[in-house]
Amino acid sequence: MSWQILLKGLVYRNKHSKKIYSLVGYDMLQVGKTTYQYAILLDENGKKHKIEQKFLDKNYQIMGEE
């Protein structure tokens, strides 16, 4: 089981906007020779957002699991 599957379902809160999101998965973005990872978060209205991993680590806190 990958670590991405283990994390799936975690609930995050944006420290600044206070909005709540749930983690639904990860995706990769290739730019030049580098591949970046971003999380896919679902907001309370059911809309998906792309959050780059380092932005997630810095600006979101884990609230628990769904």
Partner 1 sequence: MSWQQILKMVNVQSSLEFVNSILDFVEGPMNEELGNDEYLHRQGTLTQQQAANIIHLLKNGGSDEYNQIDDKEGSGVEQVGLELYIDDGFFFTMATPHITPTTANHFNFGYVTQGSVFDKLRNKETTPARVAELIQKFLNMIGRPNMKHGMTEDILTEYVKAREE
State the DSSP string of 4-35. HHHHTTEEEEETTT--EEEEEEEEEEEETTEE
CB closer to partner 1, 2 vs 30: 30
The only residue of 2, 3, 17, 44 in contact with partner 1, by rule CB under 8 A: 17
Residues 28 to 47 in contact with partner 1, rule: CB under 8 A = 29-32, 34, 36, 40, 47
61 binds partner 1 (CB under 8 A): no
In this structure, are residues 53 and 41 in contact, taking their beta carbons and an 8 Å threshold? no
Dihedral sign (CA 18, 20, 25, 27)? negative
User: Which positions lie near partner 1, rule CB under 8 A?
Assistant: 16-18, 29-32, 34, 36, 40, 47-52, 54-55, 58-59
